[in-house]
Amino acid sequence: MRNSRSGELDTAGRPRHRQPTDAAPPSRRGAVGSLLLALAALALTAAAIVLWPGDQAAYDAGLAGRPGTYTATHCWTSHGGRGSTYRSCDGTFTSKDGATVLHDQMLVGTPAAMGHPLDVTLEPGGGYAVQRPSHVMFDLAGCLGLLGLGLGALTVIGDAPRKRMGSRGLYRRQPWLALAYTGLLGFPLLMLLAVLTLIAAVVTILAGS
């Protein structure tokens, strides 16, 4: 019996065709690598949410910092580039508990009206966040968008083992399928919610809130 390019020969001298076999299962190193990538994607998504829209949402809602009111005593309009204008005010900040009163505080681009207290939050850096529903909605839209991108990354990571193994093999019996489906279903849903939240924020601004 001898070998040929098409395979071994049987006793009758005809080529013996081998049955196709499933691709080998992914190595343990590849599985650990995919798991680490998934954890890294989740960690980066969580960090981005906490450091930007989540953190700002807490100030815009008065849940962090020092909430209180800002009362403008003097306002003026300034001119910026390309014919733009913005409104600035000098006034007094009073914390909600009355323990902190700061005079001669300037707010730039503020909707404050002279003599009418405006709900604001004093941030640790000395800036002020205006407490408005539209601001919180914008922050929420940012959180949803980032979370959707994170789930989209899980779709790519969860689909990687199948690309290495082909359509057969042990892929369907492994947790990567659930990981990929989680991202595949979560990404469009969260992005849709983010867009709807942005629309609600714009409508709220147009309504004067």
What are the tens digits of pLDDT across the range 75-120?
998 887 787 888 899 999 999 999 999 999 999 887 788 889 999 9
**Per residue of the chain (209 residues), what is the pLDDT tens digit?**
444 444 555 565 666 655 555 444 555 565 667 778 878 888 888 899 988 899 999 999 999 999 999 999 999 988 877 878 888 999 999 999 999 999 999 998 877 888 899 999 999 999 999 999 999 999 999 999 999 888 888 777 766 555 555 544 444 445 666 666 777 788 888 999 999 999 999 998 888 76
Q: Where are the beta strands (DSSP E) in the chain?
A: 3-4, 7-9, 15-16, 66-79, 85-95, 101-108, 118-122, 128-130
Alpha-carbon distance values, 92 to 26, 118, 194 (Å) = 65, 10, 36
At residue 1, the pLDDT reads 47
Residue type, 191: M
Longest dimension (CA), the chain: 105
Q: Cα(152)–Cα(149) distance, rounded to whole angstroms?
A: 5
- pLDDT score of 134: 92
Rounded to two decimals, the pTM is 0.69
Mean of the per-residue pLDDT values of the chain: 80
What residues have CB less than 8 Å from 171, skipping those under 6 apart? Answer: 161, 162, 165, 177
Torsion on CA atoms 56, 143, 194, 189, rounded to nearest 10: -170
